Structure 1
Amino acid sequence: MVGAGIVGSAIARALAREGCAVTVVDRGPSAGGTSAGGEGNLLVSDKEPGPELRLAQRSLSSWLRIEDELRDELPAAFPDLELERKGGLVVATTDAGAAALREFAAAQRAAGVTAEAVDDDRVRELEPDLTPDRAAVVHYPDDMQVQPVAATEALLAAARRHGAQVRQGVEVTGPVLDGPRLVGVTTTTGQTLTADAVVLAAGPWSGAVAERLGAHLPVAPRRGTVLVTSRMPQRVWHKVYDADYVGAVGSGAADLQVSSVVESTAAGTVLIGSSRERRGFDERIEARVLSALAAKALLLFPFLADVQVMRAYGGFRPFVPDHLPVIGPDHRLPGLWHATGHEGAGIGLSLATAEILRDDLLHGKRDELAAEFRLDRPTLLPHLEGTAR
């Protein structure tokens, strides 16, 4: 397993529970990349009908079970996941946005999502401090949130309890081949690791690692930034975002896009996002992005104007041109498997991703949903250059 973020950790646990000998390697600490740079969203509200929404629905069912499962697998003193069934509110502030939101919610309801249009009285019950300048609001009671680092560490610890080994500070440098088949990797430690399967779950770095192994993978980093307020009495009760967020998630544009996403945490802070920008692995946190995030947030919650910002952080999301994750074997390089490209939804989609990859790798089971995420799907084929080298 290459990558000790939440996707790699979930897969490591799923495989180790089946009796596989699993070794997880990561060039840095566990949960040190994308998993630490997000908000911990477990969402259906931002996904249009299609395979990603179905994957999210399956994954949310798994998240509802995971606390009980981990309670049996981990010591009693292990940190809590901070899994909150808080629900989400999507807010349109213009008539045009309201029409688009209602149409989007209707399509989601047809796909099995609970999306409740709410009137002003109900909105005031749900979010008393929400701006009165709103044209439409839809409530998504199934949206949840988790503390992403705690969740990653819990899944990784459970994998260890089932026999997995975790090696941090180990970077993959190249392939070990037996004819056309990948049978292991070389590493910066000088050690060669052999395996029946190599699973690449390195998030936005998956493209670079795949190149080292001899396979082109069109995964690129997409930068995101989040503001964190100082602690305060709770005044935001759900995940609340403006209707523009859905469009920003689905856009492939490289330039800066900002939409308002506001939610509280169990620690008493408020997280303010969300930005998206493709600018390579540039780690700078810029005032222009922070200013845009703050301005957008004030449109939803004017009271935030008097709240102090404690810090800001950012991270890189794994962007794929057709906006779907890649889950399954590499048809060009036998022995290589992929679990990447979830962009900003990796936390929420991790458990279902692990189930799909486990079932395919160990049992050759690929149902209709799993087939949507194969590497050789028609929407991704034009972006694959050549074959394994």
Structure 2
Amino acid sequence: MSEAAEADALVIGGGIVGAACAHELARRGLRVRVLDNASGGATGAGMGHLVAMDDNAAELALSHYSIGLWNHLRARLPPSCAYRNCGTLWLAADAAEMDLARAKQAALAQQGVAGELLGSATLAELEPMLRGGLGGALKIPGDGILYAPAAAHWLLHDNPLIRCERASVRAVAAQRVALDDGRVLRAEYVVLANGLAARELLPQLPLRAKKGHLLITDRYPPQVSHQLVELGYAASAHASDGTSVAFNVQPRPTGQLLIGSSRQFDTLDPAIEPAVLQPMLQRAVAYLPRLAQLNGIRAWTGFRAASPDSLPLLGQHPREKGLWLAVGHEGLGVTTAPGSGRLLTDLMLGERPDIDARPYRPERFPGLCAPLTGTAP
């Protein structure tokens, strides 16, 4: 059974990336139909940080561009989105690590991201909960946090041109989507933006699951003012094998502290693993000793969808004209969602993006040039 086109674009996935794509398409005047199976995903499991990351130039370009777009939206975000411009402190464990802070400051400055080097005494004044003896920090005042599920919901309901539908997608192809209930939907544009689940529809996608653990504390009077991250976080975030942990603590507007982070490969078991959670918390306590006195009320896991080069796939499928990809954001989906939606929409409408789109092109992975399997009729 086939349906006539009721929308200009079909977006598969109602998480933060799919929502941002739908929002941008509707902003340009397109009728958008969002299909989501409500099974949950990375949006509800992540930390919700908005952070300029500089592991490579393309990552920094997209994250910095996206934070600028979040800044344009933030005055309209409802209180439920819990947006806070708290900034990030990249912590140097000792004086020697301040060289890493200086290098990071220089790399960020090349993209126009302002940063301030802080000595150990100034750092202790700003964040007295930190242990003594740290070498200092790099402060990035433009970074922030938000509650991603609420932000995705707002993006999906901010424009009447967006229609959301709970549906399970069986197959995709150029300009058509097959649903489990037998319907085939058609539209000029089909956007695949459902994270790791996209592999079930396009097995050729070079996406790999990265499992992560998080823990949140009970509510307390504010004790931390900035997002706190160790300078070694980027190495952990982009590790290609094994299990790794890094210190990352985020103050929530509720007075809670959200504690991360960990990364594991080659598992889809959602169970909380003490062998991973324990060293993650031990690392956090090493930076914030008083964390050991706080009550942790909930721990959970989630799965990031990572590409081999840690950059998202943004663009038209090499073989299926009319099928567009917005997947592979790993741990930066919340940060880069608006930039991904804007860049993808520019490409779809034949306009020139504000940043270079070439590093994110799907065709950089040869496996996507093979014929599709399981496509929609």
2:195 partner amino acid: G
Task: Give the equivalent residue in structure 1 for 2:171.
Answer: 174
Match of 1:221 in 2: 209
Q: Between the two proteins, what is the percent identity of the paired residues?
A: 31
1:162 and 2:171 are equivalent in the alignment: no
Question: Could you tell me how far 1:183 is from its partner in structure 2?
Answer: 2.4
Residue 150, structure 1, aligned to residue 134, structure 2:
no
Q: Which residue of 2 aligns with 1:314?
A: 301
Asked if 1:187 is matched to 2:185, the reply is no
1:367 Cα deviation after fit? 5.7
Instruction: Report deviation, 1:364.
Output: 4.2
1:238 and 2:226 are equivalent in the alignment? yes
- Partners of 1:205 and 1:220 within 8 A in 2: no
3-state SS of paired residue (1:277): strand
Provide the C-alpha distance between the structure 2 equivalents of 1:372 and 1:91, rounded to a whole number of angstroms. Answer: 29
Q: Deviations over 1:1-48 (max 9, x none)?
A: 11000010111111122221211111225xx2110000111001x323
Q: Note closer, same or farther for the CA distance 1:338–1:9 as it changes in structure 2 (3 Å cut).
A: same
SS in 2 for 1:232: coil
Correspondence 1:388 to 2:372: yes
State how far apart, in whole Å, the 1-side matches of 2:240 and 2:50 are: 22
* Equivalent-residue separation in structure 2 for 1:123 and 1:174 (angstroms): 52
Q: Indicate if the aligned counterparts of 2:93 and 2:135 stay in contact, CA closer than 8 A.
A: yes
Indicate the SS of the match to 2:278: helix
Q: Cα deviation per residue 1:151-203 (whole Å; 9 max; x = unaligned)?
A: 11111111xx32221111x1211246xxxxx2211111222111112100011
CA contact (8 A) 2:120 2:134 kept: no
Alpha-carbon deviations, 1:259-315, whole Å to 9, x = none? Answer: 010121011110000001113321111111211111010111111111111010111
Mapping of 1:158-307 within 5 angstroms? 158=158, 161-168=159-166, 170-175=167-172, 182-211=174-203, 216-253=204-241, 255-307=242-294
In the TM superposition, residue 100 of structure 1 has moved relative to its aligned partner by 2.9
SS at match of 1:39: coil
Q: After TM superposition, give the deviation of residue 121 of structure 1 in Å.
A: 2.9
Do the aligned partners of 1:259 and 1:275 also contact (CA within 8 Å) in 2? Answer: yes
Cα shift at 1:366: 4.5
Deviation at 1:105, TM superposition (A): 2.6
Asked if structure 1 preserves the Cα contact closer than 8 Å seen for 2:249 and 2:258, the reply is: yes
Q: Does 2:42 align with 1:34?
A: yes
Q: TM-score of the superposition, structure 1-length normalised?
A: 0.89
3-state SS of 1:271 partner: strand
Q: CA contact under 8 A between 2:314 and 2:360: conserved in structure 1? A: yes
Which one of 309, 312, 315 corresponds to residue 328 of structure 1? 315
Across the aligned residues of Structure 1 and Structure 2, the Cα RMSD in angstroms comes to 1.8
Aligned position for 2:7: none
Q: What are the ranges of 5 or more consecutive residues in structure 2 without an aligned counterpart? A: 1-10
What amino acid is the match of 1:22? V
Tell me the distance in 1 between the aligned counterparts of 2:118 and 2:51. 19
- For residue 210 of structure 1, report the CA deviation from its aligned partner: 1.7
Change (3 A) 1:150 1:367: closer
How many residue pairs match? The answer is: 363
Q: 1:99 Cα deviation (Å)?
A: 2.9
Residue in structure 2 matched with residue 89 of structure 1 by the alignment: 89
Distance 1:374 1:301 in 2: 41
Aligned residue among 13, 33, 49 for 2:23: 13
Name the amino acid aligned to 1:17: R
SS in 2 for 1:359: helix
* SS of structure 2 residue aligned to 1:334: coil
Q: State the TM-score, normalizing by the size of structure 2.
A: 0.91
Counterpart Cα distance in 2 of 1:384 and 1:183: 17
- Pick which of 185-194 and 302-311 moved more: 185-194
Unaligned regions of 5+ residues in structure 1, if any? 71-77, 177-181
Contact between 2:176 and 2:186, CA under 8 Å: does it hold in 1? yes
Distance 1:271 1:261 in 2: 8
Does structure 2 retain, via aligned residues, the 8 Å contact 1:17–1:162? no
